[in-house]
A and B are shown apart, each in its own frame.
Chain A
Amino acid sequence: MAKSPASAEDRAFRETFRSWAGGVRRRLGLERLLTGAAIGLVLGAGAAGAAWQTRHGALRPWMAAAGLVGAAAGAFVARRRRWDDAEVALYLDGRLDGKEAIVTAVELDRQDERDDPARAVVISQATEVLKKASRKDARPRFVRAWHVAIPLGIAAIGYMTLLPLPPAPKAAAPPPGKEQVKIAEIRGLEKIIDLANTNARDDAQRKRLDKLAEDAKKLRDKLKDGMEKREAQAELGRLKDAITAEKLSLGDGEERQGLESALGKLATNPDLKDAAKALGDRDLVSFDEQMEALANKLEKEDRDRAKQTLEEAAEAARKAKAPDVAKALEEQKKRLDEKGKKNERLKELGEALGDGLSDDAKEALKDFESGKGSAKEQQKLAEKLEDALGKLTPEQRKKLAENMKKQASKMTGEEPQGEGPSKEQLKELAEQLATPEGQKQLEEELKKMAEDPPAGGEGSEEGERQKKLDEAEGGAGEAEGQMGTPMPVPTPGPGGKPGQGGQKGQGDKPGKGDKPGSGKGEKGGGKDEGQPFAGHSEGGGPGDHKGQTGVVDGPGMKARASGPIGKGKPMPGIVLGRTTGRAGETANMQGTGALGQAAPGEVGAIERSDVPEEYREQVGRYFQPK
């Protein structure tokens, strides 16, 4: 049906209704827009709070944009859910009490049913209703209670924007030792590198020392570039272990039996007791000092006995296939001999000079003869004698030489030893003093003796090597100190450490101590308990004696309560299980087998264990790898 032209009433109604509907729709759209903005600002305030919490300060003011986004979303929703004419008409009827005249009129107008008899009346009535009504009566309220969130949201975002950011949360602590350490110059390592210049006992040791030096060099270079602290500590720990192992290498392994045999022999001579102890401790520097003191102190007869003992000990060591030990002992014997001769000569000269000596020189001679006989007294005496010799006039010198000759001629040659110089010695001295050249030579000799011995020039070869190793070990300690405090080692649970009971014998069960060294472990129930040389066995069976220490030619090994072990070492650490925990390495390192065998990584473990210091050396020797 063709649409008939709209009447004036129709047009009037349409215009009026469109005007009213526009107002209603605008306000409804505004309400949705504000609702969207309110939701957006609430979310934005929450997001600003989150940004504040997570310290994303720059993002906070941008959260206000959430309000705009919300408003846009509200406008979009308003557009999508825009009321149609019927809904607006129903709303207007409801608000203006139109008795549904408006909605009916809208429908009739839309249908364009011109022949509907009521159409004109309904449209007329609807127009009347709209015209009579005030706009205020049909304004949907666009401000809702929740729109208060808009100013609140803006205020909250503003507040969050102005609020100072919270302090940054503490970053999770990196694992211990994870931090980088970078040291341009690490002096301690130079001492280890210097091991490359140290004399080696044999080719194997040469290689080992070179490798130590090489490793130290590498570590130095790595530290220059920077590396993980724990890795550096682990490397340094390995170097220290290797140095310690090297220090203890004399008489170890295959030669151990020989060392014990030699110690047994040395122990038979009371004069060599201290020297034997030093050798047993592998403290070859101290061994050198003891031997030097003996050389100064002992009379010829005792010295000969000592030499005899040293020879026997060297022989025993050689027999027990410990050539290195034997070599060291023979060297000591040689040094003892030379030193003794030198001392005799000094004493002879002193006594020969007799009254020609000053009071100081006499005092020095007296001290030297009294048996203190240290290197210092020897130097002092040599110095005084040189002075006295230099002050002699040619007449006095001649007279002294003649006196000495006379005295020598009077001697029968059968005078007891230890009571002044022998006939030959006196003759020799007299001849030397007779000529100015001889005197000069003698002065030179004394001068040399008075001077400080050059560093490393006086000790035995082994002693000098050990000195170097000691220095290298000290250097490693210095390097550790330069890197900072050592890493903490996790404390094990109760019963995790061997107690004291386990040290005494060969108890199998660990102690129950909670603290290092304080545990009173249950004694092991093994049958070898209390027998220091017994092999390890478990379960009471016949067992395998592989690895058992051989028979020692001597009174047996005894604990040395005063053993100076761990000189300059750090405090003992905590031992986990059977080995130490160390930075960068697993703590779960186990020994490789029976007693007497140990993994290389366990070298030095005793030093860090809670074994009492006086027992460490002995316990350590049992666990040295063969």
Chain B
Amino acid sequence: MTATPLGFGTGMTTSNEFQKRLERAREASQRLVKAIGQVIVGQDEVVEQALWGLVAGGHVLLEGAPGLGKTLLVRTISSCLHLQFSRIQFTPDLMPSDVTGTNILVSGADGSRHFALHKGPIFGQVILADEINRATPKTQSSLLEAMQEHACTIAGIRHAMEEPFFVLATENPIEMEGTYPLPEAQLDRFLLKVIVPSPTEDEMTEILARTTGQPMETPERVLDREEVLALRSACRDVSVAEPIMRFASRLVRASDPLTQGAPDLVKRAIRYGAGVRGAQSLVLAAKARSLLEGRANVSFADVQKVAKPVLRHRLIRSFEGEADGVTTDQVVDALVESVPARSENVEQAIRR
């Protein structure tokens, strides 16, 4: 059993211990949210969803128009965590080795020369892949191994990433000229795709007030590496009942237009639905949400809540769906609405 600064550890079985872990997790997440809130105005949902990714150990793709604070959010999160931060600005001429690093010839003190690995920015703990869709697919794919396996192979040598490894990518849905949309395989590696909305009037006013005066102080680091790992461990320990896992399965299966009982909108607007990785992500994200709320079990509401950020980038629209302007968010809404959480007789008994 490994002890952690926050008292978290694997293998704790007593009620009090896990209760404490839950409380600490909630307290830690509150601290993190509070610290982020010192810099980021509004965007509560975006922050919350980014935290789901962090707690669940998944990567997050942030999509939003330029200037909405995506990069700032990632920088703030990284600055709040006592972790190694890397930033990769994706451009069309960015090469894979620019991401992963390469072996270079170096001279030793004794005058001898040898190849030494020059690690790229991927070897960080919190990676900001800014404007990821501006790089070529070849460069984008250099992230694949690291994201999926938390390891990187350079010149035949596999290099493990230091945990926690967390990629936060941003992309711009406009200015599509000269961009390379992420392939489905790579999109699937992201646990969540978070849409960054425009700020409200109040939020905008607050942003103006904060950013047009003296530069603000950098937020303090509220979570260190161990605490993040403990959070991730606690997340994995959250219980999920079978009916809830079945619900998640039904939800994901219903996103496949070939499945019997799929909603009409799915059949019409979707070409490919989410796969097994989508279902796994759904449960993991739900666990993260329940953990951040201080619960030891996942509820149907958790699954329904995380469905949109988990599934929206895993659904591939059909031509008809694209032509009709059906968004994947609309499809996920239809799925949540049409797939019952409980059996019909139980639902009826609850309603009456």
A residues whose Cβ falls under 8 Å from a Cβ of B: 9, 28, 83, 86-87, 90-91, 93-95, 99-101, 103-108, 114-122, 124-125, 140-141, 144
| Docked-complex contact A125 and B296, CB < 8 angstroms | yes
Contact with A119, one of B239, B243, B295 (Cβ below 8 angstroms):
B239
**Contacts A100-B297, A122-B296 given: A107-B237 contact, CB under 8 Å?**
no
**Contacts A100-B244, A104-B239 given: A121-B296 contact, CB under 8 Å?**
yes
B112 within 8 A of A: no
Closest A residue to B342 using CB positions: A90
**Contacts A91-B346, A104-B297, A118-B237 given: A86-B242 contact, CB under 8 Å?**
yes
| Docked-complex contact A116 and B239, CB < 8 angstroms | yes
B residues whose Cβ falls under 8 Å from a Cβ of A: 11-15, 17-19, 21-22, 237-244, 290, 295-301, 342-343, 345-347, 349-350, 352
| Docked-complex contact A125 and B349, CB < 8 angstroms | no
Tell me which residues across on chain B come within 8 A of A105, comparing CB atoms.
297
| Docked-complex contact B15 and A121, CB < 8 angstroms | yes
Tell me which residues across on chain A come within 8 A of B295, comparing CB atoms.
99, 101, 125
| Docked-complex contact B297 and A99, CB < 8 angstroms | yes
Question: Which has the most chain B C-beta neighbours within 10 Å: A101, A108, A114?
Answer: A101
| Docked-complex contact A90 and B297, CB < 8 angstroms | no
| Docked-complex contact B243 and A114, CB < 8 angstroms | no
Tell me which residues across on chain B come within 8 A of A103, comparing CB atoms.
241, 243-244
Tell me which residues across on chain B come within 8 A of A104, comparing CB atoms.
239-241, 244, 297-298
Q: How far is the CB of A489 from chain B (nearest CB, A)?
A: 72
| Docked-complex contact B13 and A115, CB < 8 angstroms | yes
Contact with A107, one of B12, B19, B241, B343 (Cβ below 8 angstroms):
B241
| Docked-complex contact A9 and B241, CB < 8 angstroms | no
| Docked-complex contact B297 and A122, CB < 8 angstroms | yes
Q: How far is the CB of B292 from chain A (nearest CB, A)?
A: 13
| Docked-complex contact B15 and A9, CB < 8 angstroms | yes
**What CA separation (Å) do A140 and B348 show in the bound complex?**
10
**Contacts A94-B346, A99-B297 given: A120-B241 contact, CB under 8 Å?**
no
Tell me which residues across on chain B come within 8 A of A108, comparing CB atoms.
239
| Docked-complex contact A99 and B301, CB < 8 angstroms | yes
Tell me which residues across on chain B come within 8 A of A107, comparing CB atoms.
241-242
| Docked-complex contact A100 and B299, CB < 8 angstroms | yes
| Docked-complex contact A95 and B238, CB < 8 angstroms | no
**What CA separation (Å) do A121 and B298 show in the bound complex?**
13
Closest A residue to B343 using CB positions: A87
**Contacts A86-B242, A103-B241 given: A125-B297 contact, CB under 8 Å?**
yes
**What CA separation (Å) do A416 and B352 show in the bound complex?**
138
Tell me which residues across on chain B come within 8 A of A99, comparing CB atoms.
290, 295, 297, 299, 301
**Contacts A100-B241, A100-B300, A116-B239 given: A90-B346 contact, CB under 8 Å?**
yes
Q: How far is the CB of B282 from chain A (nearest CB, A)?
A: 15
Contact with B349, one of A91, A114, A116 (Cβ below 8 angstroms):
A91
**Contacts A94-B350, A115-B13 given: A121-B241 contact, CB under 8 Å?**
no
Tell me which residues across on chain B come within 8 A of A117, comparing CB atoms.
11-13, 17-18, 21, 237
Closest A residue to B351 using CB positions: A94
24 A-B pairs with C-beta separation under 8 A: A83-B345, A83-B346, A86-B241, A86-B242, A87-B346, A90-B243, A90-B343, A91-B342, A91-B346, A94-B346, A100-B243, A100-B297, A100-B298, A100-B299, A100-B300, A104-B241, A104-B297, A108-B239, A120-B18, A121-B18, A121-B19, A122-B296, A124-B15, A124-B19
Given contacts A116-B237, A141-B352, A144-B352, list 17 more A-B pairs with CB under 8 A: A9-B15, A83-B345, A87-B343, A93-B299, A99-B295, A99-B299, A100-B241, A100-B298, A100-B299, A101-B295, A101-B297, A103-B243, A107-B242, A117-B12, A118-B238, A121-B15, A124-B19
Contact with A120, one of B14, B243, B298, B350 (Cβ below 8 angstroms):
B14
**What CA separation (Å) do A51 and B337 show in the bound complex?**
51
**What CA separation (Å) do A119 and B241 show in the bound complex?**
11
Q: Which 9 A-B pairs have the closest CB atoms?
A: A120-B15, A94-B350, A104-B297, A121-B296, A118-B296, A99-B299, A104-B241, A100-B299, A118-B239
Tell me which residues across on chain B come within 8 A of A100, comparing CB atoms.
241, 243-244, 297-300
Tell me which residues across on chain A come within 8 A of B239, comparing CB atoms.
104, 108, 116, 118-119, 122
Question: Which has the most chain B C-beta neighbours within 10 Å: A9, A28, A100, A106?
Answer: A100
Q: How far is the CB of A96 from chain B (nearest CB, A)?
A: 10
| Docked-complex contact B342 and A120, CB < 8 angstroms | no
Tell me which residues across on chain B come within 8 A of A141, comparing CB atoms.
352
**What CA separation (Å) do A9 and B342 show in the bound complex?**
27
Q: How far is the CB of A395 from chain B (nearest CB, A)?
A: 143
Tell me which residues across on chain B come within 8 A of A116, comparing CB atoms.
13, 237, 239
Tell me which residues across on chain A come within 8 A of B244, comparing CB atoms.
100, 103-104
**What CA separation (Å) do A46 and B12 show in the bound complex?**
66
Tell me which residues across on chain A come within 8 A of B349, comparing CB atoms.
28, 91, 140
| Docked-complex contact B15 and A114, CB < 8 angstroms | no
**What CA separation (Å) do A93 and B247 show in the bound complex?**
15
Tell me which residues across on chain A come within 8 A of B18, comparing CB atoms.
117-118, 120-121
Closest A residue to B9 using CB positions: A117
Closest A residue to B239 using CB positions: A118
Q: How far is the CB of A432 from chain B (nearest CB, A)?
A: 134
Tell me which residues across on chain B come within 8 A of A94, comparing CB atoms.
342, 346-347, 350
Closest A residue to B290 using CB positions: A99
Closest B residue to A87 using CB positions: B346
Tell me which residues across on chain B come within 8 A of A87, comparing CB atoms.
343, 345-346
Closest B residue to A108 using CB positions: B239
Closest B residue to A86 using CB positions: B243
Question: Which has the most chain A C-beta neighbours within 10 Å: B12, B18, B343?
Answer: B18
Tell me which residues across on chain A come within 8 A of B22, comparing CB atoms.
121
**What CA separation (Å) do A108 and B298 show in the bound complex?**
13
**What CA separation (Å) do A119 and B5 show in the bound complex?**
23
Q: How far is the CB of A529 from chain B (nearest CB, A)?
A: 91
Question: Which has the most chain B C-beta neighbours within 10 Å: A28, A93, A105, A106?
Answer: A93
Closest B residue to A141 using CB positions: B352
Q: How far is the CB of B59 from chain A (nearest CB, A)?
A: 25
**What CA separation (Å) do A100 and B283 show in the bound complex?**
14
Closest B residue to A81 using CB positions: B345
| Docked-complex contact B13 and A114, CB < 8 angstroms | yes
Closest B residue to A116 using CB positions: B239
Tell me which residues across on chain A come within 8 A of B301, comparing CB atoms.
99
Q: How far is the CB of A235 from chain B (nearest CB, A)?
A: 78
**What CA separation (Å) do A144 and B351 show in the bound complex?**
13
Q: How far is the CB of A22 from chain B (nearest CB, A)?
A: 15
Q: How far is the CB of A546 from chain B (nearest CB, A)?
A: 92
**What CA separation (Å) do A120 and B11 show in the bound complex?**
13
Q: How far is the CB of B155 from chain A (nearest CB, A)?
A: 42
**What CA separation (Å) do A118 and B235 show in the bound complex?**
10
**What CA separation (Å) do A550 and B347 show in the bound complex?**
109
Tell me which residues across on chain B come within 8 A of A9, comparing CB atoms.
15
Question: Which has the most chain A C-beta neighbours within 10 Å: B19, B295, B298?
Answer: B295
Q: How far is the CB of B164 from chain A (nearest CB, A)?
A: 20
Tell me which residues across on chain B come within 8 A of A83, comparing CB atoms.
345-346
Tell me which residues across on chain B come within 8 A of A122, comparing CB atoms.
239, 296-297
**What CA separation (Å) do A43 and B347 show in the bound complex?**
29
Closest B residue to A114 using CB positions: B13
Tell me which residues across on chain A come within 8 A of B300, comparing CB atoms.
100
**What CA separation (Å) do A271 and B297 show in the bound complex?**
140
Closest A residue to B14 using CB positions: A120
Question: Which has the most chain A C-beta neighbours within 10 Å: B238, B243, B346?
Answer: B346
**What CA separation (Å) do A125 and B237 show in the bound complex?**
16
Closest A residue to B241 using CB positions: A104
Tell me which residues across on chain B come within 8 A of A106, comparing CB atoms.
241
Closest B residue to A101 using CB positions: B297
Closest A residue to B233 using CB positions: A117
Tell me which residues across on chain B come within 8 A of A86, comparing CB atoms.
241-243
**What CA separation (Å) do A144 and B297 show in the bound complex?**
34
Q: How far is the CB of B14 from chain A (nearest CB, A)?
A: 6
Tell me which residues across on chain B come within 8 A of A119, comparing CB atoms.
13, 239
Q: How far is the CB of A608 from chain B (nearest CB, A)?
A: 82
Q: How far is the CB of B116 from chain A (nearest CB, A)?
A: 44
Q: How far is the CB of A138 from chain B (nearest CB, A)?
A: 9
